[in-house]
Chain A
Amino acid sequence: DTGVSQNPRHKITKRGQNVTFRCDPISEHNRLYWYRQTLGQGPEFLTYFQNEAQLEKSRLLSDRFSAERPKGSFSTLEIQRTEQGDSAMYLCASSPGGGVGTDTQYFGPGTRLTVL
């Protein structure tokens, strides 16, 4: 069990550019979540995958954001035409599924995005 990994760890971009982040969940975890964490705040839910299906998106996820999880393995989060307000830590978590009593979300180290 190598844990959830995220790449890159840091990304600095100019306003208007597109960026893509990758998340590799723990092997055989069928649930995958994306959260966004801004300075001084707790993480906020963005979207959720059950295997390859994206089943829920938060209102925080504007049309400039898109997430995929092809084949139910790794996931990517793309932000188009970045804005300074997109600067945040983007966290990925995976869980094995089942009820809350057995389902725990394991978080990756996050990707810190800075939009200049």
Chain B
Amino acid sequence: AQSVTQLGSHVSVSEGALVLLRCNYSSSVPPYLFWYVQYPNQGLQLLLKYTSAATLVKGINGFEAEFKKSETSFHLTKPSAHMSDAAEYFCAVSDRPYGNNRLAFGKGNQVVVIP
């Protein structure tokens, strides 16, 4: 089964500093990878997705992620953290490009932005 691993449940970052959230995947086939963000009392919102096109993917709110097959990684970054980035972030993988596109999620990273 496909899976992703996110280390460090809580991540603290100073306002204006680099945000780096790590995601490593396990997949026996070329994976499709996603990052979602969840604000309190809200559903998940897609930040960006990798679908075998460009390895550097740009998303919303200034986030980007780079797919590295050799490292089986899909880390999420943002150059300068903003207070509004405080939320929970989930990495997810799908191995099914057609039909049931079910997602397998990591445990998430709770990001705290320190003023």
Q: Which of A56, A91, A99, A107 contacts B100 (CB 8 A)?
A: A56
Chain B positions 95 through 112: 1 when the CB is less than 8 Å from some CB of chain A, otherwise 0: 011111111111110000
Q: Which of A33, A43, A91, A100 contacts B32 (CB 8 A)?
A: A100
A109 proximity list for chain B (CB < 8 A): 41-43
Within 8 A of A (CB), among B39-72: 41-46, 49, 51, 53
Q: Which of B45, B46, B92, B100 contacts A42 (CB 8 A)?
A: B92
A95 & B53 in contact (Cβ 8 Å cutoff): no
A108 & B43 in contact (Cβ 8 Å cutoff): yes
- In the assembled complex, the CB of B29 is this many whole angstroms from the nearest CB of chain A, namely 12
- Judged by a CB distance under 8 angstroms, whether A41 is at the interface is yes
A99 to B53, CA, bound (A): 13
B9 & A99 in contact (Cβ 8 Å cutoff): no
- Judged by a CB distance under 8 angstroms, whether B90 is at the interface is yes
Within 8 A of B (CB), among A59-112: 91, 93, 95, 99-101, 103-110
Q: Which of B32, B96, B98, B105 contacts A44 (CB 8 A)?
A: B105
